[in-house]
Structure 1
Amino acid sequence: MTWVATLGGLLFGFDTGVINGALPFMADDLRLTALTEGLVASSLVLGAAFGALAGGRLADAFGRRRMILVLAVIFLLGALGSALAPDVTVMVIVRFVLGLAVGGASVMVPIFLAEVAPAARRGQIVTRNELMIVAGQLLAFSSSAFLGNVFGDSHGIWRWMLVLATLPAIGLWIGMHVVPESPRWLAAHGVAGSALRVLQTLRPPEEARREYEEIRQAAAEDRLRDRASLRDLREPWLRRVLVVGLGLAVIQQITGVNAIMYYGTQILVDAGFGTRSALTANIANGIVSVAATFVGIWLLGRVGRRPMLLVGQLGTTSALFGIGLVALLVEEGALRGFLVLALTVTFLAFQQGSISPVTWLMLSEIFPMRVRGLGMGAAVFVLWMVNFTVSLTFPTLVDTVGLSSTFFAFGVLGIAAIAFARRYIPETRGRTLEELEGGFRVAAGHSPR
């Protein structure tokens, strides 16, 4: 179930990463200007924000499994449409639609995984989606580099780069047909017998029965209440959960991880590498991201979420100030280029090895069942909008204030992220989703269920 569902994460990573390699070859065919290049690159991110916002509500209404099947179709049609786009207008529209699927997957897949995973293994299972995201980005970098270097003189090679995304989309569509629905969603919609049968295929008998009773009781109480809406935020404990969720989304993006992922080559060029050398060196960012995610998954089974998040924030913030100092104090040339590369790799090691897996895991854990889709959809919408803002403004910031000042600004934001994490982020490791809800209620002065 995990590996099938996380094909959605692989598509998330591939579709966000492939445009880096395709844009240089696309520029002549579609007569791109600097403005239209930005539109082509960022239209997917903007679409992802709205896909995340709607995705949670749709998953609550129609089911996790059914909506992931719909996403597979959108991924397939979006990949075909972008590969066949005749002009910029069609490309931007299709990329926006493809972004709806990316955003939807960023919400639905972690929710689905969190709801089917046993509490003791939830961290390792949910963060496999993060592994698939970075693997998709590395696959995009590598396949584009191969096609560009070997067939770069062929007309329209960028179309082949983009169409490769159809393969995992077909795999996701086929695979989800043999995967059962989330037992928690089934119980929440009154299909208790089916929920128990799914749990019995995933747990030992006693554990399945115990977890089923917890889920059934929580679902029965939720059905006595009105449909989840913003009015629920009148309850102080739910407002606190939302603050934690939105804060996690912001601090995951605010330090500029996607400035490095989207503009890593340009950062290395500005630091002193030649263009060809920067293109090659930038592959290191993808390799380190995958390796660090493996380490992060291993750590989540042994270390608490909160200390991992704080250590990750300390590491990334230190790397950001290091990049700023190198760009300010070291003369442009090979030495500065290698120092900046070493620091960007260090940044990504902490980001992908701790911050990103913890963020996606905790967002899938903290919201109670009744508002899980709504809450996670809102949090991931904010995450994508911060991503969009950072990726849109980064080139302008570098042109206006320079590389060093830009990274010093990210470092200051990193300090603010550390302060927020210390103050608001709770520990969630080793607790069932229902126990987490009870903990938030008690913290806000309410009695648990």
Structure 2
Amino acid sequence: MGTPVTSLHGGTAGREPGNHKWALRTATITATLGGLLFGYDTGVINGALPYMQEDLGLTPLTEGLVTSSLLFGAAFGALFGGRLADRHGRRRMLMVLALIFLAGTMGCTFAPSTEVMIAARFILGLAVGGASVTVPVYLAEVSPSNRRGRIVTQNELMIVTGQLLAFIFNAYLGNSFGESHSIWRWMLVIATLPAVALWIGMNYMPESPRWLASMGSFGETLSVLNRIRSQAEARREFEEVKAMAVEDYKSKMGSWKDLGIPWLRRIVFVGLGLAVIQQITGVNSIMYYGTQILSQSGFGREAALTANIANGVISVLATFVGIWLLGKVGRRRMLITGQVGTTTALLLIGLFSLILPEGTARGFVILGLTVTFLAFQQGAISPVTWLMLSEIFPLKIRGLGMGASAFLLWIVNFLIGFGFPQLLAAIGISNTFFVFAVLGVAAIAFAAKYVPETKDKSLEDLEHYFKNVAGSKAPTTEAQLS
């Protein structure tokens, strides 16, 4: 084979030693700008909403609609984003999503009414949902198997970093210019900057080698692998990817009819379950309405904006810990530990909201518990969920399975985002968190019975494994996968 030519998709033979590490790192950082946008656009509403209430005259119902319209759009963005990424490529899909992020952000920033804001947030949600499935799949497919966990979960780190940045900008703008007209518009427009950077950056990034192989473009596959791997690793991985791609390429792209196959149906069932149990902890009631929760617990509006930064800080720190733990601990064990921790914190939030009198002391207790909750959620549940969703599906149905799972995840997210203000008004803060605690117990039971271990297995190993084992009707235990 001749010397590969440098291109948008390929690499160069004769490159300097170590350049492949830089190329992989650059691709990771650029793609995870999609995660940063995901985080910022979902987190910014937390501080912008109190100011929107005044300018747009929001009621509890329209407040829920403004918040959750993004989540409803994200469900459809996730559902169709995976299929479009399968058809047109991960890289091209991320470039399109960058433009949708830009258009949606501008629509929200200049929205003159509640109706326009809801529509613009829906459009923005399409990009958020598309990024939620495309970025982890892209990262999983460009990563070497021994580093896949840490690389894919860097997207989760960027998500919580985006949320933290949103909380910081919200607090700064709210405390400094809170009396200015429409300060929330300035909170929203900041998201245009990473959207532009994502579009520019992905122009220069390689396509997923596994997607190229699935399209039969083996020359480009090897060229990309030469760009992001050492020469020995590239050749070894190319043979592995090619063998699996040839097997899948003989059949058409996966469809819902494939769920008639028991082992594929089981994988999709596990994927859908992972999506649900990540959301029914109620994490996004804190990420979207944290300022209101802290206000009701005893803080004033501006003080709550500042205190809410603690939720963002712990999310970032916990994600760092989670990334480190993924290299040490099994995915399944981390997931169950995280679910136990969040359920305990939810129970305590409900309990102390019930027995402590309203005031600053109760506010600090609730803040401490929300920080504890997020330490378990962002340090264990969220990184494991997105990582496992990116790696359990075989290539043939990866876009379909990831899209369907993320669709359900966002629908549950939408129901929580829309219903939380009404639930809070109807039954109070303590009973609301008791409901989430009960759901947490159900999540623990599901994870213990159905979720398999996937640590240290290549994507191709996982596909062969599920073919041989996952069709069994017996629950999969960690011991079976050792």
Query: Where on the TM-score scale, by shorter chain, does this alignment land: which range?
Result: over 0.9
> Which residue in 2 is equivalent to 1:44?
70
| Structure 1 CA distance for aligned equivalents of residues 229 and 264 of structure 2 | 30
1:198-221, Cα deviation, whole Å (9 max, x unpaired): 111112222212211121111111
> Which residue in 1 is equivalent to 2:475?
none
| Structure 2 CA distance for aligned equivalents of residues 415 and 64 of structure 1 | 36
**Superposition TM-score, scaled by structure 1 size:** 0.96
Q: CA deviation at 1:431?
A: 0.7
| Structure 2 CA distance for aligned equivalents of residues 277 and 27 of structure 1 | 18
> Which residue in 1 is equivalent to 2:171?
145
1:85-139, Cα deviation, whole Å (9 max, x unpaired): 2222222111111110000000000000000001111111001100111111111
- The match for 2:462 among 414, 436, 448 is 436
Contact 2:46-2:291 at 8 Å conserved across structures: no
> Which residue in 2 is equivalent to 1:405?
431
Give the letter aligned to residue 380 of structure 1.
A
Q: Where in structure 2 are the equivalents of 1:38-187 lying within 5 Å?
A: 38-187=64-213
The alignment partner of 1:402 has SS state of: helix
For the aligned residue pairs, the C-alpha RMSD in angstroms reads: 1.4
> Which residue in 1 is equivalent to 2:231?
205
| Structure 2 CA distance for aligned equivalents of residues 219 and 276 of structure 1 | 55
| Structure 2 CA distance for aligned equivalents of residues 75 and 274 of structure 1 | 33
Q: CA deviation at 1:445?
A: 5.2
Q: CA deviation at 1:155?
A: 2.6
The alignment partner of 1:18 has SS state of: helix
Give the letter aligned to residue 439 of structure 1.
Y
> Which residue in 1 is equivalent to 2:9?
none
Whether 2:350 is the aligned partner of 1:324: answer: yes
**Superposition TM-score, scaled by structure 2 size:** 0.90
When structure 1 is superposed on structure 2, of 61-70 and 412-421 the one drifting more is 412-421
| Structure 1 CA distance for aligned equivalents of residues 87 and 415 of structure 2 | 30
- The match for 2:307 among 272, 276, 281 is 281
When structure 1 is superposed on structure 2, of 31-40 and 119-128 the one drifting more is 31-40
1:207-246, Cα deviation, whole Å (9 max, x unpaired): 2122111211111111221331100001100011001100
> Which residue in 1 is equivalent to 2:341?
315
When structure 1 is superposed on structure 2, of 34-43 and 375-384 the one drifting more is 34-43
| Structure 2 CA distance for aligned equivalents of residues 416 and 267 of structure 1 | 25
> Which residue in 2 is equivalent to 1:355?
381
- The match for 1:242 among 261, 268, 281 is 268
1:1-57, Cα deviation, whole Å (9 max, x unpaired): 000000000000111111222223333433433332322221111100110000000
The alignment partner of 2:226 has SS state of: helix
| Structure 2 CA distance for aligned equivalents of residues 32 and 332 of structure 1 | 25
Q: CA deviation at 1:261?
A: 1.1
| Structure 2 CA distance for aligned equivalents of residues 445 and 304 of structure 1 | 22
Q: Where in structure 2 are the equivalents of 1:410-429 lying within 5 Å?
A: 410-429=436-455
1:400-435, Cα deviation, whole Å (9 max, x unpaired): 222222212211111111111111111111110000
Which structure 2 residue ranges, 5 or more long, are not aligned?
1-26, 473-482
Contact 2:156-2:383 at 8 Å conserved across structures: yes
Contact 2:95-2:198 at 8 Å conserved across structures: yes
Give the letter aligned to residue 34 of structure 1.
P
Give the letter aligned to residue 274 of structure 2.
L
| Structure 2 CA distance for aligned equivalents of residues 250 and 211 of structure 1 | 34
> Which residue in 1 is equivalent to 2:44?
18
When structure 1 is superposed on structure 2, of 257-266 and 356-365 the one drifting more is 257-266
The alignment partner of 1:127 has SS state of: helix
- The match for 2:361 among 325, 335, 343 is 335
> Which residue in 1 is equivalent to 2:22?
none
Give the letter aligned to residue 244 of structure 2.
A
How many aligned residue pairs are there? 446
> Which residue in 2 is equivalent to 1:386?
412
| Structure 2 CA distance for aligned equivalents of residues 373 and 82 of structure 1 | 29
Q: CA deviation at 1:328?
A: 2.4
1:337-381, Cα deviation, whole Å (9 max, x unpaired): 222111111000000001000000010000000100000000000
Give the letter aligned to residue 209 of structure 1.
R
| Structure 2 CA distance for aligned equivalents of residues 268 and 148 of structure 1 | 16
| Structure 2 CA distance for aligned equivalents of residues 318 and 134 of structure 1 | 22
Q: CA deviation at 1:398?
A: 2.3
The alignment partner of 1:215 has SS state of: helix
Q: CA deviation at 1:258?
A: 0.5
When structure 1 is superposed on structure 2, of 188-197 and 324-333 the one drifting more is 324-333
When structure 1 is superposed on structure 2, of 409-418 and 129-138 the one drifting more is 409-418
1:65-98, Cα deviation, whole Å (9 max, x unpaired): 0010000111111111211222222221111111
> Which residue in 2 is equivalent to 1:189?
215
1:314-357, Cα deviation, whole Å (9 max, x unpaired): 11111111112212232333332222111111000000001000
| Structure 2 CA distance for aligned equivalents of residues 120 and 3 of structure 1 | 18
Q: CA deviation at 1:250?
A: 0.4
> Which residue in 2 is equivalent to 1:223?
249
The alignment partner of 1:132 has SS state of: helix
Whether 2:272 is the aligned partner of 1:251: answer: no
When structure 1 is superposed on structure 2, of 299-308 and 110-119 the one drifting more is 299-308
The alignment partner of 2:455 has SS state of: coil
Give the letter aligned to residue 168 of structure 1.
P
When structure 1 is superposed on structure 2, of 357-366 and 152-161 the one drifting more is 152-161
| Structure 2 CA distance for aligned equivalents of residues 337 and 28 of structure 1 | 24
